[in-house]
Structure 1
Amino acid sequence: MIDDVKGAAFPFRIDPATGGVAWAFGADKIRQNVRLILGTRVGERPMLREFGSRLHGLVHEPNDSAIIDLLRNQAQQALLQWEPRILAIQTQVEQSEGEVHMRILYTHTNEAAGGELTIPVL
């Protein structure tokens, strides 16, 4: 169940009410995990070298239709590998002047509920 998902909040912070580590639960924690996975470069974590995505390696590539397919493919592969509690249904890449945003529609594998997340990519 989605309500069983629990972990340290991302970005890491101290809860002012308790003085301890802030926690995130349920759909909010999964959304944070997706941001963390797509925002981490492969090789960035010393103890888990394969964690993350290869999106950052595409920063200097030409902004054309081929890069859109690569971004979509890299994001879906990373999410399949590192967040098995969701399934990306649709990934849209939106280009504007100087910016690229990715909109991910996903469904939770345990429930019929879904979510949507838009993140800046390049």
Structure 2
Amino acid sequence: MATQTTTGLRFPADCAGRGRFGIARGTDKFEQNLVLILQTYPGERVMRPDFGCRLRDFVFEPLVPSTGARIADEVERAIRAWEPAVEVDAVEVTPNGSVDGLVHILIGYHVRGTGVDGELGVDFSTDGYQPVAAGAGAPGVES
């Protein structure tokens, strides 16, 4: 398989030592791209009004199995539309048993043409609208 190295500015943007912008590479960059897609609501970007994911539409929805299935469908649709290098293998939405209104979204994916598989965990609150960090890694990224 071919090795694909993706490099870009770290999200959110930060300055590394000596005044240089932080750089993300490989899987880290793909996962940052996925989080950016999930955190952006369509219409927020002037030049790309369709960019993003409609997770905010699920704010204040009851956490029943059909809501979880609709969240999973929307996450997969948005990733398929906006990150063509990533193929989604599975999206699991699990309510958090100890925090009302919080769901954990686990995205299994692989990067086309590389043989690289990954999992991204994102927590989403149906009491608020912004996906929040699920782990200690980059914002919204669970390692």
Segments of structure 2 that go 5 or more residues without pairing to the other structure are: 126-143
Q: Deviations over 1:47-72 (max 9, x none)?
A: 21111101111112111111111100
Determine if the alignment matches structure 1 residue 119 to structure 2 residue 122: yes
- In terms of fraction of residues, the more helix-rich structure is 1
User: Would you say the 8 A contact 1:55–1:71 is kept in 2?
Assistant: yes
Deviates more, 1:44-53 or 1:68-77: 44-53
Q: TM-score, normalised by structure 1?
A: 0.93
User: Would you say the 8 A contact 1:2–1:27 is kept in 2?
Assistant: no
Number of equivalent positions: 120
What's the CA shift for 1:20? Answer: 2.0
4+ residue segments displaced more than 4 Å: none
Give distance in 1, aligned partners of 2:68 and 2:38: 15
Q: Deviations over 1:3-22 (max 9, x none)?
A: 1x11110011111x130221
Determine if the alignment matches structure 1 residue 105 to structure 2 residue 108: yes
Q: Percent identity?
A: 31
Q: Equivalent residue for 1:19? A: 19
Q: Equivalent residue for 1:81? A: 81
Give distance in 2, aligned partners of 1:59 and 1:2: 37
Q: TM-score, normalised by structure 2?
A: 0.80
Letter in 2 for 1:11: P
